Amino acid sequence: MTAALPALSVLFAVFATAVPWGLPADATFIMPLVVVMMVFCWRAIPDTVFPPYLAMLLGLLTDIMSGGPLGFWALMTLIAATVGGRVAPLTDGQDSNRLWLVWAAVAGVVASFGWLLASLYFLRWIDWWPIAFGALTSIVLFPVVLRGLVWIRRGRLRPGPTLYGRWS
């Protein structure tokens, strides 16, 4: 599998972050974190090509679209890509719960680090609630997004005892 399909799916999500959804102020962190989550998932799904530099470029695009500091979301996607690349490939006996758990930890780290970085960037404590809310929402949305990416990966969802069935 080439990197085109994963990259296009994440690119779609990046553009979706910039579209005027009319979300309330507390929910502004959700969409960019979905982008980070997709990068993590693509890196964790076996037999998928998604190099870290591509993840960084897409993060940079998110920065440009959002008008925030250049490099912030690039850094977050890079962290997700690094961790995602090191997560053991899921097989039949290991369902999505393990990956979900890892994402929960990554989301916590990304949210905390992002909050600290943002506070350092602006030299003041920024409001932590939107970031925490975004991280929590991304954890809740994780199975849905992962299922969607698996569908993109294989073209369909196979019924089976586990979420994924066999990868190959």
Partner 1 sequence: MRADHSPFKPRPRRSWRAPGELLNFTLYFLCAVLLVLSRIGHGAVADARDHFVDLTAPLLEAASVPVIMGRHTLARVRSYVGMVSEIDRLKAENDELKQWEWRAKLLERNVAHLRSLLNAVDEPALHFTTGSVIADARGPFVRSALINLGRDNGVRIGYAVINGDGLVGRTVDAGASVARVLLLNDLNSRIPVLVGAAGMRAIASGDNSAELKLDFMPDGASPYAGDEVYTSGSDGVLPRGLRVGVVTGSAGAFKVRTHAELSSLDVVSVLFFDTPALASTDPPAVPVAGPLSPVPEDSKAPAPVPTASIEPLPADSAIKQVGAADGVSPGEGMAQTQQ
The single-letter code of the amino acid at 20 is P
Q: How far is the CB of 105 from partner 1 (least distance, A)?
A: 9
The CA-based angle 113-144-88, given to 5 degrees, is 65
Token readout for 66 is 């959002």
Stretch that binds partner 1, among 1-9, 22-30, 141-149, 153-161 (CB under 8 A): 22-30
DSSP run (H or E) holding 48: none
| Contact status: 92 vs partner 1 (CB under 8 A) | no
Coil, strand or helix: which one is 158? Answer: coil
Asked whether position 93 contacts partner 1 by CB under 8 A, the answer is: no
Site for partner 1 in 44-63 (CB under 8 A): 52-53, 56, 60
Size of the site for partner 1 (CB under 8 A): 51
The letter for the amino acid at 14 is: V
- In angstroms, give the least distance from the CB of 74 to partner 1: 5
Q: Given candidates 7, 10, 29, 96, which one binds partner 1 under the rule CB under 8 A?
A: 29
Long-range contacts of 69-73, Cβ-Cβ distance < 8 Å, separation of 24 or more = 69/121, 72/114, 72/117, 72/118, 72/121, 73/32, 73/35, 73/36
- Based on the shown chain and the rule CB under 8 A, indicate whether residue 114 belongs to the binding site for partner 1: yes
Instruction: Tell me the C-alpha distance between 70 and 136, whole Å.
Output: 24
What is the footprint of partner 1 within residues 132-161 (CB under 8 A)?
Answer: none
User: Containing H/E element for 66?
Assistant: helix 52-66
By beta-carbon proximity to partner 1, the closer residue of 122 and 157 is: 122
What residues line the site for partner 1 (CB under 8 A)? 15-25, 28-29, 32, 52-53, 56, 60, 64-75, 78, 82, 86-89, 98-99, 101-102, 114-115, 117-118, 121-122, 124, 126-127, 130-131
